[in-house]
Every structure is written in structure tokens, then in C-alpha cells.
Amino acid sequence: MARRSLPVSTGDLTSASPPTEAEFQPLSRDRRSFLRKSVAMAGGALATGAAGISVAQAQALTVPETNKAMGRPIPANEYGMPSEFEAHVRRRRTDVLVNKQNFSDWSMTPLQHQHGIVTPNGVVFERHHAGVPDIDPAKHKLVIHGMVKKPLQYTMNDILRYPSVSRFHFLECSGNTLTDWVRNASTTVQQSHGLLSCAQWTGIPLSWLLDEAGLEEGAKWLLVEGADGSGHIRSIPIEKALDDALLVYGQNGEMLRPEQGYPLRALMPGWEGNTSVKWLRRIKVSDQPWHFRSETARYTDPLPGGKWRQFSMLMECKSVITRPSGGMNLPGPGLIEIQGFAWSGRGRITAVDVTLDGGRNWQEATLEEPVMDKCLTRFRLRWNWDGKPAKIASRAVDSTGYVQPTVQEIGAYRGLYPGFVQHHNGVFPWSVSANGEVKNAIA
């Protein structure tokens, strides 16, 4: 066992298994995973030594087997996969609000294991309304019609012929964190914030194709519709379509994954994920919105007095600490680098503050470059933990001056019930106990 390298994804923090039977492996059935965890614990102890609290005695080194043998040969062709030792880094369905079917459902990104700001394609979160269609790009068509001078049809080959543009943007579901407004429902940050990912998207500006079709006088809205079994559909204001909206086919250097809309999706930077309609087949221009079910019964926000806020598509400034986060155990007092993500649908992140005492006092964290418009931004703060109970949280500020609010501040303006309430961008605290356990402390 000693020859195995430490699981670098968790560093000096060990991450507890998410609390579901689905992923829980009895030790007798998976001894390797048990041993791996033991190694991780040992790694934690060593890291504490490195932090200068106490210097542990290292063991004498032996030559690892990997130095004494040839490795795996290069196959004729393959699609490379992560190390077998990273098998715990998985997208997973929610453990909190479990649907009785998994077609109109979602799976969440393991943010606690993400290094840097780009989410690997295999763990980008999913939200579908009728499962994932498998679409042959040779047969896929995009149509633009309605209030345009010239209705047009495009094949994927047509779209791929244009010069392309690539942009880094986050994508967040409007329902991200909705289980955790008023109770500590989620154990890990994957469960509480995992409907969030970030990628480099490649495609063409939507405005190019609208230019070609020619908007008629009075065109104010357009619809984007998917070729999936739900025919998912949203009304989009023409200003957004002409501003930064993209039609994308590329994601992190490769074609979109089927679950991300292959071969073509809309991308509305900074807006709730469901407006970035996947498997995009149709755009229709009009003078008014359509008020689809997805714009009244869903994706609306309850307000006091029986009203609902509609077309609330922008994702407001938000941040969360991903390390340490729920389910992790600190190895002991000493240096802990607090890491997290901040993002805003209104622009760039300009500052992130971190509290170590439950919101009484705050200090500014370091933002790591690149800091981009409507993109995940990495923040870091070095914390010398004294081993006493603490409550840590982050608070982001964006380029419009908007300051991330607390749940209490949001609750002053909106209804936080019935439990399916969207647009939770509240400050999210984690508690750290004297024995190093990190837990959800939102309520």
C-alpha cells in the first residue's frame, strides 16, 4: 500500500462518504476503498507535520513497484479516463430531495474535489426534463422563424462553418441550494451547491443568426426550444439575445456531451441554467413572451402576499467555501487554506470576504486569476486554526457593487417556503467542531 500516492484530490482533508446507501460500500466488499481511506488519514497526519505544529517521524523510503516495471502501454486509440483512485469524484443525484423517477431529475457536481475554475466535462451537473436524447448531428437542424424577414434553417455543418468564439462562463441551476434555506438538509457542498459548473464554451453569437434572418420591427422576445422529450422551452428577451447569448457546440475543448445538449445548445451567460436550452432545435421571434409552464409554475419565486416573481433569470452574486466543507474532517490545528468559488450573473467578482467567527468579523480573501465576467472565480485564505470551534463562511461582491446577502436578508423580501424556492444566493456557513468535523450550519 505504501507505494500508492496520496489521493491529492482531498489533500490534507479527508472527505466523508456522502450519506446514501447507493454509494456506501461495505468494507468487506471493497477493501481497497477502505485502505485508501486509511492512507488518506495518514496523509492528513503528515500534512499537519508540514504545517509546523509537530514534525512527525517519516518512514524510510523503499523503491516503489512502479519504478521497477513498465507501465501500461499506449493503446491504438482511446478516450482517457481519470485514475482509478479518483473513482469517488462522481456526479451524483441529490440525496436530499429524491425524485421518484430519474428522467426529469438532476445530478450534482463534486465541487469539493474541483481544482481550478473549470469543471471537467464528465462531472458537469445535469438537469433534464425528460432524460437525455442521443441526437445524430448529421440529422439535427436549427430553425429561426417568427418575426423575422427571412425564416432560416441550419444544419450542424452550416453552424460549424462560421468563425467561432470561446468564452468561460459558469452555469448554475436556479434551484441550486434550494434544499438548504431554513434547515441543514445537505451534508456536503456537492449536495448544497453542486448544481453549479463552469466551462469554456465554444460556438457562435446568437446575434449573428438573428442578423441573417433579419428581425422585424417590434421584435422583443424569442423562444428557444429543445429537441428532447420535454420540448423544453423558454422565452428570452431580445436584449439578452443580442448581447452575450451564444449558440454553443463545444465545451472544454470537445463537442458537448449528450447530457449537455449535444450537438447544439443555447448559452445565456450568467442566467439560470434552464434558459440555456439544450439540444436546441428552434428559435422563434415575437413581440411578447409566451408564459410557458416553465415561466409560471416553475422557475418563479414566491413573494410575500401571494405574488410570484417571473422571468427572474439572472443568477445573482454568490459564493461558497468548498474546502473545508461539509463532511470533511480537519486533521488538527494548524494551517488550513480555505478555498472556495465566487460568481455573479451580473459581471465580475471584485472581492470575497471570509468570516471565521460566524459573521461577526470578516477579512478579505485573495482572488486567483483569471477573474472573468460571469465565471467561477477562485478565492483563497490562509487560516491558522487554533483547534477551537469555528463557523466559517464567504461573502462575495461583484462589479456592480452588489453584496451577497444572508438568508435572513433574502427572507425579508421573499417567501422561503414551500421548500422548492429558487435563487438561493445566501451566505453559506460551515461549522467546524473542536475535533475537526465540518458541518452544514445554514440554520
Partner 1 sequence: MRSLKLVTAVAAALALAACATQPTGTTSSLPAHPGVKYGKAMSDLDADAWNIDIRTSDGRGLPPGSGSVADGKRIYDQRCVACHGPDAKGGSVYGSMVGGFDTMKTDKRVLTPGSMYPYAPILFDYIRRAMPMDSPQSLKDNEVYALSAYILNLNGLVPANAVMDARSLAAVQMPNRNAFVVDDRPDTKAVRCMRDCIK
Judged by CB under 8 A, the chain residues 202 through 231 that form the site for partner 1 are 205, 207-209, 211-213, 223, 225, 229-231
Footprint on residues 231-270 left by partner 1 (CB under 8 A): 231, 233, 243-244, 246, 269-270
Residue appearing with cell numbers 472556495: 340
Q: By C-beta, is 360 or 388 nearer to partner 1?
A: 360
Footprint on residues 8-37 left by partner 1 (CB under 8 A): none
| Residue 80 is a binding residue for partner 1 (CB under 8 A) | no
Helix ranges, 72-163 (H): 156-161
Q: Is the dihedral of CA 92, 316, 121, 223 positive or negative?
A: positive
| Residue 347 is a binding residue for partner 1 (CB under 8 A) | yes
Residue appearing with cell numbers 447530457: 259
What minimum distance in Å lies between the beta carbon of 170 and partner 1?
13
- How far is residue 343's CA from residue 352's CA, in Å, rounded to a whole number? 10
> For partner 1, which stretch binds (CB under 8 A), given 20-28, 75-83, 346-354, 380-388?
346-354
User: What phi, psi does 407 have (nearest 5°)?
Assistant: -60, -40
- How far is residue 266's CA from residue 236's CA, in Å, rounded to a whole number? 11
Among 127, 129, 265, 278, binds partner 1 (CB under 8 A): 129
What minimum distance in Å lies between the beta carbon of 367 and partner 1?
13
What minimum distance in Å lies between the beta carbon of 128 and partner 1?
12
Footprint on residues 312-331 left by partner 1 (CB under 8 A): 312-314, 316
- How far is residue 318's CA from residue 176's CA, in Å, rounded to a whole number? 11
| Contact indicator for 185, 179 with CB cutoff of 8 Å | yes
What minimum distance in Å lies between the beta carbon of 438 and partner 1?
21
Footprint on residues 360-389 left by partner 1 (CB under 8 A): 360-363, 373-374
Residues contacting partner 1: total by CB under 8 A: 98
Among 348, 380, 391, 439, binds partner 1 (CB under 8 A): 348
What minimum distance in Å lies between the beta carbon of 197 and partner 1?
19
Q: By C-beta, is 53 or 242 nearer to partner 1?
A: 242
What are the distances in angstroms from CA 249 to CA 159, 200, 229?
A: 9, 11, 20
Residues 195, 133, 222: CA angle, nearest 5 degrees:
70
Best CA proximity match to 89, nearest among 123, 138, 46: 123
What minimum distance in Å lies between the beta carbon of 36 and partner 1?
38
Q: Per-residue contact track with partner 1, 394 to 413, x per CB under 8 A?
A: -x-xxxx-xxxxx--xx-xx
- How far is residue 38's CA from residue 1's CA, in Å, rounded to a whole number? 10
Q: By C-beta, is 313 or 328 nearer to partner 1?
A: 313
Q: Per-residue contact track with partner 1, 266 to 295, x per CB under 8 A?
A: ---xx----------xx-x-x-x-xxxx--
Cell numbers at 439, concatenated: 458541518
Q: By C-beta, is 40 or 407 nearer to partner 1?
A: 407
What are the distances in angstroms from CA 87 to CA 80, 90, 327?
A: 14, 7, 17
Footprint on residues 132-191 left by partner 1 (CB under 8 A): 143-145, 150-154, 158-159, 161-163, 165, 167
- How far is residue 397's CA from residue 317's CA, in Å, rounded to a whole number? 7
> For partner 1, which stretch binds (CB under 8 A), given 5-13, 47-55, 77-85, 308-316?
308-316
Cell numbers at 235, concatenated: 422565452
Strands 141-146 and 280-286: parallel
Among 54, 417, 433, 435, binds partner 1 (CB under 8 A): 417
| Contact indicator for 21, 333 with CB cutoff of 8 Å | no
User: What phi, psi does 80 have (nearest 5°)?
Assistant: -65, 145
Q: Is 159 exposed, middle or buried (0-12, 13-18, 19+ CB in 10 A)?
A: buried
> For partner 1, which stretch binds (CB under 8 A), given 26-34, 96-104, 257-265, 432-440?
96-104
What minimum distance in Å lies between the beta carbon of 406 and partner 1?
7
Q: By C-beta, is 3 or 183 nearer to partner 1?
A: 183
- How far is residue 243's CA from residue 241's CA, in Å, rounded to a whole number? 6
- The torsion region of residue 434 among left (phi > 0), alpha (psi -120 to 50) and beta comes to alpha
Secondary structure letter of residue 148 according to DSSP: B
Q: By C-beta, is 205 or 327 nearer to partner 1?
A: 205
What minimum distance in Å lies between the beta carbon of 400 and partner 1?
5
| Contact indicator for 429, 358 with CB cutoff of 8 Å | yes
What minimum distance in Å lies between the beta carbon of 77 and partner 1?
32
Among 35, 303, 434, 443, binds partner 1 (CB under 8 A): 303
